[in-house]
Amino acid sequence: MLAAVSMLGCASALAMTAAVAMPSRALAEKPAAPAAGGAGATVRGSVTILDRDGNPKASHAGVIVFLDEMDTRYEVAAKPADQAIRQVDKKFIPEVLPVLAGTTVHFPNDDIVAHNVFSLSRVAPFDLGIYPRGQTRSVVFEETGLVKIYCNIHSRMVASIVVLANPWFTVTAEDGSFTLDNVPTGGATVRTWYPRTPQNSEQRLQVTEKGIYDLDLRLVEDLRLEVREESLTIQHKNKWGKDYPSKY
């Protein structure tokens, strides 16, 4: 069974786990260097995640890096490729997913138990209902912004979708490295989003044909943000605004 839901309305937002600078919403003139032609520059660098004492973490994976406030605006020419967040072992995989506005995200249940995927986010409120292993339900994310995803049955299941206005985004590798290809020349702001930091990084760039290969971005991880949603003391509510049963 495959069901699709298009998100055009608004609802009360859940409290976000971290402050985030959301992308500008304008989808205007087409890019000067479309990716299909292979033109454009390369923006490359690394993100270092530090603990509260200033020491580098063992892993620097899972940070979204994206370009915003670009001199060249992007016009969506075709429907973006579909993406997926799976439900496995009472977890969402991946837990962080950047997508282009207009993307359909599938939520296949590959677990041995039923789940109820939902969000109360302002930009894309939805409720997919309870469905068992082997079924998939889907949502089209039309508006840019942060969408926190939960399961109404299992309180520890949390994922984040960041809906962006242009295709120049990626997620850092284990060593923190990232690469953005075919970037139009001109001004742009590079930003990060990571669920366990109160302060994300941003830097204004001037992209030339030679590209940029040495960006160094740093974040300080605050596990207290993780504890708010992943400890046994769960502070977020279910879809009815009530506490989760203690057995979950």
**Domains in the chain with CATH codes:** 2-222 (2.60.40.420)
Query: How far is Cα 195 from Cα 197, in angstroms, rounded to an integer?
Result: 6
Pairing, β 136-141 against β 2-6: parallel
Q: How many CB atoms lie within 10 A of CB 166?
A: 25
Q: Is 10 in contact with 120 (CB distance < 8 Å)?
A: no
CA 16 – CA 58 distance, rounded (Å): 25
Each residue's pLDDT, cut to its tens digit, for the chain (248 residues) gives 445 544 433 333 333 333 344 454 333 333 333 343 347 899 999 999 998 888 999 999 999 999 999 988 777 778 899 999 999 999 999 999 999 999 999 999 999 999 999 999 999 999 999 999 999 999 999 999 999 999 988 888 999 999 999 999 999 999 999 999 999 999 999 999 999 888 899 999 999 999 999 999 999 987 654 433 333 334 566 676 766 565 54
3-state DSSP assignment of residue 135: coil
Q: Nearest-CA neighbor of 202 among 56, 16, 69, 55? A: 69
SS3 92: strand
- CA diameter of the chain: 57
The pTM is what? 0.78
